[in-house]
A and B are shown apart, each in its own frame.
Chain A
Amino acid sequence: MNILEVNNISKSYITYSSELERIKSWFSRNKFQKKRNLILNNINFTVPRGESIGIIGKNGAGKSTILKLITGVNEPSQGEIRVFGKISSILELGIGFNDELTGRQNTTYTAGLMGIDEDKIQKVISIVEEFSEIGTYFDKPLRIYSTGMKMRIAFSIATAIRPEILIIDEILSVGDAYFVNKCFKKIKDFQNQGTSIILVSHDFQAIKMLCSKTILIDNGSLIKYGNTEEVIDHYNALLSETKSKIEFNELENFKVQTVSGSGEVIIEEVNFTDKNNELVETINVGDSVKINVGVKIVDQIDSLVLGFSIKDRFGQVIFGTNTWHTSQVITSPQVGKSYSFCIKLEMSVGVGTYTVQLALVDKDTHLTKNYHWIDMAVFFEVINNKKSFFIGNSWLKNKIEIKNV
């Protein structure tokens, strides 16, 4: 018995040469469309009752669009979606809140929008007030809330009444560890009671924890639907495959990549591998990794230093050093010669996404000479499914001893 059937759905956004043409198209069989932008192409899958699935893929692959079609916010251009149960969803943070209204009023309004019966709304409000734990803020307007507080309200409303399908789009990435844990617990509870979860996330750890099966979407098509581990591996392979083809400044996951330098020496190749020299994208806390940098000497120089720094998603440098400080300066390299640097690191850092910046300079800073500089040369994600849960930006070796006294 399925809870959700997605049959051959496609979604395209049609561009008309003018919006008047669009209005004409409502009343005519002729199609005036100028350009058809295919977002989803012939997607098919079913979710058995009680089973939870994850949806992964690159940015812009069409993951959120699928969720919007399932919830009914948007309609598919072709195909059919059949839902056999009550859906509750949290799409892209927040559920269309009004910033001027208080948390309580927003709860009333949103619960009403979701079609919750009049007599249950009071109950929902008290559940939301209790679960969100935002105290007196509940009666203050949302404009003074932090993002995390809005997320708390949104999650509390969506889960106030147990739905048969709970759809979550990336929401668990905001909010503090305490509340995220509370959310996970609630979701687990729902799963035990038979709710199906559909989760879109870049947080593979969350997907592994909640979803037995996962769908991989790339470029609007369903690439793979299978066991979560398998699909995530497939995704990683897909990423490294595309990465070797991509030029440095066309890294699609990042909007801006700064490349600069005078060009006497150039970085020809960069890759990020695990200790077995396999290209990776996602690693575990504490894993040993290698950043391999291939460099070519183009012009006569006196000295060559390679520097790198690892930055977290806020751009804060987590760690950085260079071959000047490690006393490995290359002096008077021969023109035309290539060097290969292998930076070995043990990633005892917190869960999150990181980027690596590389620089070829002549001394300890890039202030005198900057040969080649690449921002965001590598990006990778650190997840934690080997160590016990921890918060913070670094992993410290720890041991807690308890004694009876």
Chain B
Amino acid sequence: MLKSLYTFRYFILVSIKNNLINKYTKNNLGFLWIILGPLSQALIYTIILSNVLAAKLPGVENFYGYAIYLLGGLLAWSLMSEIISSNTNLFIDNANTIKKVSFPKVTLVAINTGVSSINNLFLFISILAIVILTGHQISFHYLLLIPMAIITAILAQSIGLIFGIFNVFIRDVGQAVPILLQLLFWFTPIVYPISIVPDFLKTLIQYNPIFHVVDCYQQIILYNSLPNIMSIFIILFLTILFSTLSIILFRKAGREMADVL
């Protein structure tokens, strides 16, 4: 699998580039959209939730504290949800190619995750700009976001790949995943701080894998502190678990995929 990724490395890079070019150059504003989309999303949350709702977080001085908290959570969430949902439909969307050309299917996965990661990078740049504009102090801890994002992307991709494989055989998965993601979004402290959650739910939320990712992002972006070591361990453990599982499934299912598509 790694070998085919290496052989097809240029193809993967070119495809990621073309995918982005195609998405953004067909309209008049072109590459501006790549920034405008995430920027408006971030701005809406910042302005509306901070000013209108006047939400304030305990222990945070900045008036925009809540907004920054929210943006941190959203950055992590959008990376995970985008990779998971696009991987879910990956094989079905590319059925036409899979049935006609013999090529390592893992390249599709790499292209897909690459595109999502780059989209997320632009969201990060927008968020960073807003965070700086609000006068929030940023520190070297932000550099930790790079390994965080890589691990998160791998975790999300493994989960997405598992859904994607199941979806080829059981099409209901494709319908269920968006609903599941929506449920998870509200079950993760992104829009609300975990401190306001009743105790019995707090324990339950601990079992939500996305919670730990989001928490690490929030620690870094809002509190400028090191993420919780326990959360890191859980994320690493889950990443290894899910990626192993996804690779095993991928190997088993790869043979039959073209038969069913």
Contacts and interface: CB of A to CB of B under 8 A. Distances in A.
A and B: bona fide binding partners: yes
Interface of A: 13, 19-20, 22-23, 26-27, 68, 71-75, 87, 89, 91-92, 94-97, 100-101, 105, 108-110, 112-115, 118
Contacts of A100: 22
A336 to B, nearest CB: 56
A23 B166 contact: yes
A91 B166 CA distance: 26
B252 A113 contact: no
A22 B166 CA distance: 10
B170 A114 contact: no
B102 A72 contact: yes
A332 B86 CA distance: 74
Given A73-B102, A113-B97, A26 B253 contact: yes
A200 B196 CA distance: 68
A91 B8 contact: no
Contact of B10 (A13, A27, A101, A118): A118
Contact of B7 (A71, A87, A110, A115): A115
Nearest to B251: A26
Contacts of A26: 249, 252-253
Contacts of B22: 100-101, 105
B101 A27 contact: no
A112 B102 contact: no
Contacts of B170: 19-20
A115 B18 contact: no
A140 B18 CA distance: 15
A112 B8 contact: yes
Given A73-B99, A101-B18, 8 more contacts: A13-B259, A68-B99, A68-B258, A87-B102, A89-B101, A96-B96, A100-B22, A109-B18
A258 to B, nearest CB: 33
Count chain B CB atoms within 10 A of each CB in A87, A92, A109 and give the residue with the most. A109
B169 interface: yes
Contacts of A110: 101
Contacts of B11: 112-113, 115, 118
Given A75-B255, A109-B18, A96 B169 contact: no
B99 A96 contact: yes
Interface residues on B, range: 20 to 34
A22 B259 CA distance: 13
Contacts of B166: 23
B14 interface: yes
A101 B166 CA distance: 28
B14 A96 contact: no
A27 B248 CA distance: 10
Contacts of A113: 11, 97, 101, 103, 107
B106 interface: no
13 contacts: A13-B259, A22-B169, A71-B102, A74-B259, A75-B258, A91-B99, A94-B96, A96-B94, A100-B22, A108-B18, A112-B11, A113-B101, A115-B7
A92 B100 contact: yes
A113 B105 CA distance: 10
A115 B8 contact: yes
Count chain A CB atoms within 10 A of each CB in B7, B94, B97, B253 and give the residue with the most. B97
B62 interface: no
A32 B107 CA distance: 31
Interface of B: prevailing SS: helix
Contacts of A109: 15, 18
Contacts of A89: 101-102
B100 A96 contact: yes
A94 B96 CA distance: 9
A108 B102 CA distance: 16
A18 to B, nearest CB: 9
A257 B256 CA distance: 36
Contacts of B169: 19, 22-23
A96 B101 contact: yes
B98 interface: yes
B7 to A, nearest CB: 7
Interface in B95-126: 96-103, 107
Contacts of B15: 109, 112
Contact of B14 (A68, A74, A112, A114): A112
Count chain A CB atoms within 10 A of each CB in B11, B100, B170 and give the residue with the most. B100
Given A19-B169, A100-B22, A105-B22, A94 B100 contact: yes
- A-B pairs, top 4 by smallest CB distance, nearest first, are A96-B97, A112-B11, A72-B102, A26-B252
B108 to A, nearest CB: 9
Given A74-B258, A96-B97, A105 B8 contact: no
B55 to A, nearest CB: 42
Count chain A CB atoms within 10 A of each CB in B8, B96, B259 and give the residue with the most. B259
A360 B142 CA distance: 87
A97 B100 CA distance: 10
Contacts of A105: 18, 22
Given A23-B166, A26-B253, A112 B258 contact: no
A89 B101 CA distance: 8
A22 B107 CA distance: 25
A97 to B, nearest CB: 8
Nearest to A20: B170
Count chain B CB atoms within 10 A of each CB in A74, A91, A100 and give the residue with the most. A74
Interface string B163-185: 00010011000000000000000
B68 to A, nearest CB: 38
B104 to A, nearest CB: 9
Contacts of B258: 68, 73-75
Contacts of A92: 100
Contacts of B253: 26
A311 B178 CA distance: 51
